[in-house]
Each structure stands twice: as structure tokens, then as C-alpha cells.
Amino acid sequence: MPVTVAKTAGFCFGVDRAVSTVYELLEQGKKAATLGPIIHNPQIVEDLKRRGVEIVNFPADTPPGHTLVIRSHGVPGSVMEEIKELGLSYVDATCPFVKKIHELARKAGEEEKVFLLCGDENHPEVQGIIGHCGGEHYVIRDSEALENLLKNHPDLQKKSTVIAAQTTFHTKEWQKCLETLKKVWTNAAVFATICNATAERQEEARSLARQCDRMVVIGGRDSSNTAKLRDICAEYCETYLVERVDELPDLPKGLRVGITAGASTPASIIKEAQNTMAEVNSNEQNFEEMLEESLKSLNTDEKVHGVVVGISPTEVYVDVGRKQAGFIPVAELSNDPTARPEDLVKLGDEMELLIMKTNDQEGTIMLSKRRVDAMRGWEDIEKAQESGEVLEGKVVEVIKGGVIVLKDAMRIFVPASQATATRGEELEPLKGQIVKFRIIEVNRQRRRAVGSIRSVLRDERRARQEEFWANIEEGQQFNGTVKSLTDFGAFVDLGGVDGMVHISELSWNRLRHPSEAVSVGDPINVYVKSLDKENHKISLGYKRPEDNPWLKMEREYPVGTVCEATVVGLTQFGAFASVIPGIDGLIHISQIADHRIEKPHDVLKVGDVVTVKITEIDFDRHRVSLSIRALLEEQKAAEDEAAANAPEEEVVYVSGETETHALTEETPVEEAPVEEAPVEEPAEEAPAEETPAEESTEEAPAEE
């Protein structure tokens, strides 16, 4: 098997610097302790432990006389302060690229900007970075998490934001995040902080995986960058993650194998893995060549006809018409590792078999049914690829990067990107399921067959869509699911076909955003308002006629009704006020007051509750005219009328004081004439009477 090692595999600058720092301290005869494992590699960690290096979780746990080494991941600012307060001897081996992100986080907090970091919130590097940010911050794992963050915090788009990434963040996922940011974020400062070595390593791994049948990723299982390398390679071929050389898989002959390694993997381990696989390859080739020659000499390359005469948990015994006893090991019976012999064959079954090995001394012949089936399978698979035939098989394994589908004796690899209808779906539920798929790639020399379940699902969906469009009619009702929301409406999945409910159709009330009425995932009953079959567009309705507020308006609020209304908007020509939920009326500027005003803002403001009179309703055009002035004028007219109808009053002077009496029918004017007052005697002897007269004269204007 050809073995290719990625040029960028192994230690990055930051990790190499941190590990070298510890070894240099040991060479100088100093005692060393590391704040957490110095590297995600169990072999290196174990070697340092044997040399006396202590691993501590907190600075205070550092043994006396030891120099504390801060690993390349870095630590929060509070930890650095604690180290200094304790007076510990330390060496800061934080990667320079990580320190750059620390500075970005610190400045964002000082400038009161939102700090957004793309990465794994549980990773030590991310925890260290966030520990330097004193302001509002968020950590997102992928582009989907970013979309959820924007949905749950729409106000973030208006804030000044700094965006960075963990140094080992997935480069492909970073690009997806940037695409999302460009659409919605207008005032974000983006910093590409993924380490160059990480980006180069991921890109080379992707390129190598495309060319190989299998990929081996060497590194610690707790390493973030190693896990990302495994995920990248698994998109293109079967991938194995190993920590030690003794975990290397046994691979069939003739496969092209690629090797890459995470930033925490020493070059010595990579070299050992390469040599081991090359040695195995050499031995396999020699053994295969010798076996092939042996089989030829014993006529073991021929096919024979056999009849099942016995079944055990590990073997099936067959009669092949020779003196030797024929047997089929369970591994040569089927490609399904979970299958039991008793479930595959029964006594008396006839089958065509391939002689694998003859042992004349023991009088046995080892046979294979699996290989005969595989020979036929390759022919069937190649024909299926040419014709595009839809095949059925059972998902027998879920592996990194995809699933294995068993079709007869053929193992078909279906990448994760081709295993489900949409990307990102869980693969585990597929295990044990019978699925339909197409063959999209066949390479007999490399013994590789790749299938696609998604292509069949797409065709099935397309067929459902064609049937849907053939039968859909206006007015038809559907129970759908809200699929997504936009500023102008909601898209609803009607069962493979999407329709759109405009925001004006979601509610009779005025909405600022569709989310005020529905949420993604909500079940929703809709009806078809209009169709465009040529362009495959459906306009849906959601609000019900019986909930129409105009019907309530017609029943309960006729013209002339006086009611309270809430001001909801102001314009140059008037004010809009909500009469009932869903109906706003216009108070024209001329109807706001009983005198001329320059602007509605001078009298009203949004939120004011005013008493209005409904002066006109246009049900066809859905318009309502309101008036405050009409009520003021009516009130003034009523006051004038009341004043006009009020009884007159008479003024009576008694002993120099003024009394007022209402003139009524019971009190005629003749009974108390004002002119008779001076007639009292003696007239000449009352000079003092002149004073009241003068006072009366002075008070007269006041009476008027």
C-alpha cells in the first residue's frame, strides 16, 4: 500500500516552543511544573512525568522550588495576576498568535465593544482568551450557532463588535461564519486569527484525503486541531484517529493511505507510524505473492459448487464433491460483521464458492462465499453506476465521515455529505436501516465504491413536488411547519414545497416582524391565496376572516361613535390612532384642536390616549376618519346653550349691602322694585344713604 505523509503534519511553532521550554528547564537542572498538560500527546506527557515534571491545575498547587510553565494555550488574565501575587517563578510559553487574540479581547472590553469568538467554549485556549475580555462577549461553535445568536440577540447587529477565531478553528466553518456576518453585520471588525500553520495543515489534509482510500490522523484524542483534521479527512474517505503506533488499523492490500498529524504530535511518532505501515505493506506483499503462487499450484483459484451440510457459530461446513472437508469461516461468509451464520444459510443451501486454501495433511479446503459475491458485486455495481439505477442496502456501520451500506456482499461507502437530505443531520439513526442509494463512484483497482443516498431523496422529493403542483388549488388548506422567517414574511413547509405568508397576512394587527406572530418550527394551518405554477411560487394566507376587526368595527363602532383611541403615529398632516386592535384611524391636523395648529407634534405624542369621534368609515378602502375637534365644538355649543338658558338675576340693596336674587316666576319684579328703595321716609333725613348709593354706582361695572 503506498503511504503518503503530509508535509505539514506534526508540531506547530507554538507547541514546539512550549515543549522545548520544559525540556530546556530540565537540561538546566531545574524543577518544572506545567499548568495543565503541556501538550495533547500522552507519550510526551508521560515522558515528562518520568523526568519529574509535575502537572498542576492551579498556580497555588505549584510545588516549592519548581518553575511553572504556562502552556501554549495561554491562561486568563486573572490567572496571570494570581501567579504574580504568589511570587512564583514562571515561564510564559503562550503562543504568540494566542497572545494577539488576548490583546484583541482586552481592547474590546476597554472600548465597550462586543467580543465574538469562534471556537470551542470548553477548550483551554478559548477559556484563556475570554478571561482577557472585560465586556460583553460570546463564544460560537459554528455558523449555525452564529445564526441562533443573531436571532436571539438582534440588537447585537447595532453594536460595535470585534470578531476573532480560535487559532485551530475549522477554516471552512470560519468562511461560513464570515458569509453570515457580511449579510447582517455592518459595523463589525473581523480579525482572521486562525494560525497559518493550522490553515495549511487542514488544507493539505483535505487535498491528501481526496487522493487516498484511507487516512490515518495521529494525535491526542483531546486535541482540538487533531479532531478537526479527522473531520476534514472523513468527508472524503474512511479515516482513523490513533494516538499510538500500536493502534494503527489493518488495511487491505492495494489501498492508498495518507498520514497526517495534529499540532501536538512529535515527528518521531509520525515517522514510526510511517515505517510500521511500510513494513506491514512489504510483509503483506510478500505473503500475498507467496499465497498466490501456492494457490495456483493447488488449483485454489477455481470456483466450486458446494452444499451446506453443517452450521456452527464460527464456520459453515459444505460438501464440494471432494475427499477434503470444505468449510467457510464466518469472516468469508458475508461482509456484514454483525451477521450470524444461521441467519445467512440453512442446511441444504447450494452456493458457488471460491477455494482460498487447501490443506492436504488435514484434509480440509477453506472456501469463501464473500469473495464470489464480491466479484459479482463489482459487475453489478459498475452497471448500476452507468445506468443510475437505484439500489437498496442496509446501513451496517456509522463511521467518521459517513456510513457503510452493505449491498449483497459489497460494502459501499456513503460520505456524510451524501447520507442525508440536508447537511448536518445525525447519522446514527441510519444504522440498521434499509436505504435507497445510487452509485456515484467505482474504482475496482482501489476497491472503492461510493454511493449517494441524498440523490435518491432529492428525486423522491422532486416527485412529490410534481404531484403537489399537479393537485394544488387556490383556497386549499394545509397543515405546514414554519421553516424560516424574513423581514417581510414567513416561509412554510407544506410537505416538500415551501409557500410564503406575507407579514400582512400573519395577523390583523400591525406587526413589526413576523416573529411577533410565529416562530420557526411552529405548526401552522394555512390556505392558498394565489399560485404561480410557472415560477413555483405560492402565496399563503393565515389570518381568518372571522377574526377580521373590520367586522367588529361595522357591528360595534358606527359613524358618530365616541371612543378612546391611542396615538400610534404622527405625520405632518395628522395623527394615526388605534381604535381597536388591527384598525387605525386618521385624525387630520384640522381635526386635532378647535384652533389652528402648526404641527400635530405640538399637541399630541405617541402613546397619548385621546377621546375621539368617528366621523367617517370607508370599508372598501379600509379607512377611518377621527376627530377631536368635533367633540370640542359640541362641548362648546352645549356650554353656550346652557348659558343662554340660564335664569336672569336681580340686585337688591339692603342696608348698604348688595344681595342678588334670581328672578323666577314666583318672585315677580313688581314685588321688589329697585326704584322704591329711596322712597322710605324721612328722605331728607338720610344723608348717610348717599354713601350706599355711591358704592352702588362704583360696583355697577363689576355687576356687568
Grid cell 497559518 in the structure block, residue: 196
pLDDT in tens, 174-224: 888 888 887 777 677 888 888 777 778 888 899 999 988 889 998 888 787
Q: 593-617 pLDDT, tens per residue?
A: 988 898 999 899 999 999 999 999 9
Per-residue pLDDT of 620-666, as tens digits, reads 888 999 999 999 988 888 888 888 887 665 555 555 555 555 444 44
Query: 217-243 pLDDT, tens per residue?
Result: 988 887 877 888 998 999 899 899 888
User: 701: pLDDT confidence band, cut at 50, 70 and 90?
Assistant: very low
pLDDT of residue 699: 40
Strands (E), 444-561: 448-452, 477-486, 489-493, 498-502, 523-532, 537-541
| Lowest mean pLDDT segment, chosen from 163-167, 298-302, 330-334 | 298-302
pLDDT tier at 562, thresholds 50, 70, 90: very high
Q: Are 326 and 352 in contact (CB under 8 A)?
A: no
Distance between CA atoms of residues 149 and 686, nearest Å: 100
| H or E stretch covering 568 | strand 562-570
At 630, list the grid cell.
Answer: 368635533
Asked if residue 424 has pLDDT above 70, the reply is yes
Burial profile 324-342: b = 16 or more Cβ within 10 angstroms, e = fewer? ebbbbebebbbbbeeeebe
| Rg of the chain taking only CA atoms, in angstroms | 45
Angle value at C-alpha 117, between 114 and 121, nearest 5 degrees = 120
Q: Is the pLDDT of residue 680 over 50?
A: no
**Residue 593 carries which side chain, given as an amino acid letter?**
A
* H or E stretch at 439: strand 434-443
**Band of pLDDT at residue 417, cut at 50, 70 and 90:** confident
Question: How confident is the model at residue 681, as a pLDDT?
Answer: 47
- pLDDT of 667 reads 46
Counting every residue written for the chain, the total comes to 704
Q: How far is CA 102 from CA 164, 166, 171, 443, in A?
A: 10, 11, 20, 49
Question: CB 318: neighbour CB atoms within 10 A?
Answer: 25
pLDDT tens-place string over residues 339-396 = 788 888 888 888 888 888 887 666 788 888 888 877 777 878 888 888 888 999 999 8
The C-alpha cell at 133 is 475580555
Alpha helices (runs of H) in 314-410, residue ranges in sequence order: 341-344, 370-387
For position 323, what pLDDT does the model report? 65
Residue 543 · residue 581 · CB < 8 Å: no
List b or e across 462-477, with b for residues whose CB sees 16 or more CB atoms inside 10 angstroms: eeeeeebeeebeeeee
Mean pLDDT of the 66-70 span: 94
pLDDT tens readout for residues 83-123: 999 999 999 988 888 888 999 999 999 988 999 999 998 88
Evaluated on CA atoms 661, 663, 664, 670, the torsion sign reads positive
Tell me the pLDDT band of 279, cut-offs 50, 70 and 90: low
Q: Residue 127's pLDDT band (boundaries 50, 70, 90)?
A: very high
Q: Which cell is 80 given?
A: 496571570
Q: Is residue 219 left, alpha or beta, with left meaning phi > 0 and alpha meaning psi from -120 to 50?
A: left
Within 10 Å of residue 300's Cβ, how many Cβ atoms? 19
Residues 241-270 have pLDDT tens digits of 888 887 888 777 778 888 998 877 877 788
Query: Residue 406's pLDDT is what?
Result: 87
Q: What is the mean pLDDT of residues 516-538?
A: 87
DSSP one-letter code for 51:
T
Pick the catalytic residue from 103, 111, 125, 441.
Answer: 125
Tell me the HSE value of 434 on the side-chain side, using a 13 A CA sphere. Answer: 4
Extended beta strands in 80-147, E state: 90-92, 114-118, 137-140
- pLDDT band for 137, please (50, 70, 90 cuts): very high
DSSP codes joined into one string, 648-660: PEEEEEETTEEEE
The Cβ-side half-sphere exposure at 207, using a 13 Å CA radius, reads 11
Q: What pLDDT is stored for residue 677 in this prediction?
A: 44
% of the chain surpassing 90 pLDDT: 22
Which residue has cell 397576512? 505
Model confidence over 10-55: pLDDT tens digits?
777 778 788 888 988 988 889 999 999 888 778 788 888 988 999 9
Residue type, 208: L
From the list 492, 476, 482, 470, the residue with the least C-alpha distance to 529 is 476
For residue 651, the model assigns a pLDDT of: 53
Integer Cα distance of 264 and 534 in angstroms: 57
C-alpha cell at 16: 514546539
Please list the alpha-helical segments (H only) found in 519-650: 549-556, 629-644
Are the C-beta atoms of residues 344 and 313 closer than 8 Å to each other?
no
pLDDT (0 to 100) of residue 567: 94
Average pLDDT over residues 542-554: 79
Examine the residue annotation and report whether 125 is marked as an active-site residue of this protein.
Answer: yes
Mean pLDDT, range 309-330, rounded to an integer? 82
Q: Over the chain, what is the mean pLDDT?
A: 81
Return the pLDDT at 118.
Answer: 92
Q: Mean pLDDT across the stretch 62-76?
A: 92
> Residue with C-alpha cell 459479482?
376
| pLDDT for the residue 659 | 54
Strands 391-399 and 583-588 turn out to be unpaired
Q: What per-residue confidence (pLDDT) applies to 154?
A: 80
